[in-house]
Amino acid sequence: MTDSVTDADTTLPVPHVPPLRRSQGFRNFWLSRAVSGLGSAVTTVALPVLVFQQSRSPLPVSLVATAGTLPYLVFGLVAGAVADRVDRRTLMIGTDCLSALCLGSVPVAQALGALTVGQVVVVAFLCSSLSLFFDAGGYGFVPALVGKNRLAEANSALYGAETVVRIIGNGVAGVLIALVHPVGTLTLDALSFAGSALFLRAVANGPARAASSGPRTGFRRAVPNTPARAASSPPRTSPHRAVPNAPAHATTNTPAPAASSGPRPGLRESVAEGLRFLAGHPTLRVMTVVGTLQSFSGGAIVGQLVVFADRVLGVHGSDGRIGLLYMAWSAGGIGGSLLLPRLRRRYDAFPLLLLVLPVGALLGLVVVLSTDWRIAMVALASWGTAYLVVLVNTMTYSQEVTPAELQGRVNTTRRMLSSGLGVPLGALVASGVTVSAGIRAGMATAVASITLAAIVVWVVQLRGLPGPTAEA
């Protein structure tokens, strides 16, 4: 009698993958971001205070704010190309050390009686620039550390921690400034960067913890791999679990090898290669537009929240409830970080936008129409949840579909469009609309931006344009 072959005989065993919190490498990376983020959250408040104390003029304060976003436009493309050409872990450690030295120069200059407003503005610009290069390295470092099939979980954990430490840091900044002076708080931030570098040093050069399973592209079920995906991810053996495919020698800190054995292209060609990939990938192109519109709305909300609270909600600048409104918006990000991994297990990246963007637009409308600060606070927290889900979902998808050797260039370009263009443009447009048409109209620009993003993804979905399922 002929032996029959059952499904169990041919199914490859899937090894058990421990939760990320038990991965020492990811835990050390998470701690490095949490420690550094806490110090940076305090410095976000301390730097403007220090500059104003030194100058007694609002102009240098605005220069500090500009210095925080300008590097995304100046170095955005270059930072990604550099990160894809060097050892990413070394790049991140180096930027942490340089950030510590930059911030440490302020208390040294203060002690010598040589501190100037110009130095503080330059330090703000340099630290923001170094942070950009760090992030460029991190875009490729995280997928190698945890595997592409666990990016949603990893990014949610990282962004959730960032939100928590930002709330804590902003909350204690006033106390620290009063106790140790703004210069003293910068010293603490310098120490936090040094601590971040030490945690990164502790990330072992071992193999990636899990393999890339590639992104899913159907509404609830994955579609067969297209040629572009097949190059980086194997087919799944079950609807829910992927077979690891990382080579045994893969490390978390080395850049991906070049696709060809010829001479390495110059920096300009490297930048152009990343731009071509982003422009030529239909789904990623659409999601980049959505991410920029989302960031535009965030700039509009944060930029006009004080005015909205004062003129509509009756919460004035000296009222402690203004802090609760800001905390509600930030705390929504915690909910989003907890919600995204569950949503990504149920829905694919593009269809998730079809659901969350209209919800975000409705919640934004509730905020704009609110007259009671308590209703506005709850709506802001819910809106913040939807905001972070879209933000991290878009970033996760980009990391999933981008080849390892292009991670820095592609994702830094996206960040340049969102943080470098979307956020300041949203704040500027909202303020102009507020001056000409009133605060509700100014806040409504954020709702209009999210609504436009929702229309874009639904038009792509309903008209069947290359986007939700096509790959470059």
Q: What is the DSSP string of 406-429?
A: GHHHHHHHHHIIIIIIIHHHHHHH
Average pLDDT, the chain: 81
Is a pLDDT exceeding 50 seen at residue 418? yes
Opening angle at CA 298, ends 437 and 278, nearest 5: 120
Supply 287's token pair: 């999601």
More confident residue, 427 or 448: 448
Residues 290 and 418 reside in one and the same domain: yes
Residues 183 and 283 reside in one and the same domain: no
Full-model pTM: 0.74
Of 154, 185, 201, the last residue of a domain is 201
Residues 179 and 280 reside in one and the same domain: no
d(CA 266, CA 388): 36
Widest CA span in the chain: 94
Nearest one of 17, 406, 471 to 208, comparing CA atoms? 17
Of 201, 225, 255, the last residue of a domain is 201
- CB distance 213 to 236 below 8 Å: yes
Residues 300 and 194 reside in one and the same domain: no
Is a pLDDT exceeding 60 seen at residue 59? yes
Residues 190 and 295 reside in one and the same domain: no
- Alpha helix (H) ranges present in 4-150? 7-10, 24-55, 58-83, 88-111, 117-146
Residues 68 and 180 reside in one and the same domain: yes
Supply 14's token pair: 């899937």
Query: CA 93: distance to chain centroid?
Result: 19
- The three-class DSSP label of residue 398 is helix
Q: Is residue 33 part of a domain?
A: yes
Supply the range of the domain harboring residue 151. 20-201
More confident residue, 199 or 45: 199
Q: Is residue 7 part of a domain?
A: no
CA 106 to each of CA 53, 119, 121, 186: distance values in angstroms, whole numbers, following the listed order: 14, 8, 11, 8
Give the range among 10-14, 63-67, 132-136, 374-378 with minimum mean pLDDT.
10-14
Angle between helices 321-346 and 349-369 (to 10 degrees): 160
Supply 143's token pair: 């997928």
Where residue 5 falls among pLDDT bands split at 50, 70, 90? very low
Is a pLDDT exceeding 70 seen at residue 21? yes
Total domains in the chain come to 2
CATH number at residue 152: 1.20.1250.20
